[in-house]
Amino acid sequence: MAKTTLHSLLEMKQTGEKFTCLTSYDATQAHMVSSQGTDIILVGDSLGMVAQGKDSTVPVTMEDMIYHTRCVSRGNTDAMIMSDLPFMACSTPEQTYQNSAALMQAGAELVKLEGGRWLCDTVRGLSERGVPTCLHLGLTPQSVSMLGGYKVQGRDEESANRMIEDARLLAEAGANILLLECVPTPLAREISRSVDVPVIGIGAGSDTDGQVLVIYDMLGMTHGRKPRFVKDFMATANTPAEAVASFVADVKSGTFPAPEHGFDA
């Protein structure tokens, strides 16, 4: 398998080939995920909830993200590594530059930030400094208290139009990838078609350019209520590696996500 790059992801978008992304938090997970053909590994601040047992992603620190990025980079084969900037790690452009550099030095090849158009200047500055970025729109877990809980975003016309405009402005500012979480399928489709950069979805329907899931969720290890957008790939697999291979195959073929994994307008 060839090494995943920003160029290869852009080619996939242009040719209509779907790409895949799974979270990993250690070297063993990273090796399994990447060796089964996953295109992107996300070292997500979701580790705060699924690995550290915390109530949200908010308590996750830069030290946590650096440590887990280093672990993942040691086990990775050909996937691109994308790492989250945790809560309040991008409050100012200067702080974001410093924290992004730390993640890149730990092994990240792409830095993910949560937020909309207010990050345009920061994204532009990161791009000028050679730091590729993924911008996370829709349900942004670091802001869940402000959003009133884990709810689908962009269901009314005003918020949908704002998200479309945020996506356009961030792409123009230099964002290399967008990630849409828990947004109606028609809105995700419109955003994916309106920007030139690849778009990853989770709970955003099947018309985004790629799909991401938390590794524990797709292995049937969800703690508590299973989100609507999750499919348990271990249910028909003999090993975790087989489950990952099935996820990759189903995304590539368009089998996953099915309509029942998305949300209507």
Q: Which residues are catalytic?
A: 181
Query: Which distant-in-sequence residues (6+ apart) come within 8 Å of 44 by Cβ?
Result: 23, 25, 84, 112, 214
10 Å CB burial of residue 158 (0-12, 13-18, 19+) is exposed
How many angstroms separate the CA atoms of 217 and 215, rounded?
5
Calculate the CA 224 to chain-centre distance. Answer: 21
Q: Is 173 within 8 Å of 195 (Cβ atoms)? A: no
| Strand, coil or helix: 33 | helix
Pairing mode, strands 110-114 and 199-202: unpaired
